[in-house]
Amino acid sequence: MPDSTIGYVIIGIGILVVLGVVFAISARAGGPAGAVTPPRGVHLPGPSFLPVVVSLAAALLGAGLAFRGDEQLANPFLAIPGLLVLVLGVIAWVRAANHEWRDTERGSHDDSPAH
């Protein structure tokens, strides 16, 4: 099996793990069983650095898979930190979104109609 195939399998497994973590964090909050509609006052979230962190981590992970030695699957000095920052960044991003949702449900925002 070529090394590139193994790399694609690892990327696929990594994506599934990240999606599983996102689902687990989102499902833990609970909520109504029916269709969820945004509460009153939902608006665009404030500016965040998390999309930039996740993008840079994905680039670092990609560089680790691209710039490797002949007998290596990935460059561990690039891929491992990239994967760790990617997973932590996605978790932080989901937690921030859940926090925004809970604040809006509690009515801490204005009572104007949803945008």
What span, in angstroms and rounded, lies between the C-alpha atoms of 55 and 50? 9
Q: Average pLDDT for consecutive 10-residue bins of the chain (115 residues)?
A: 80 89 75 61 75 92 88 89 94 87 68 51
Residue 29: per-residue pLDDT: 62
Identify residue 98 by its one-letter amino acid code: N
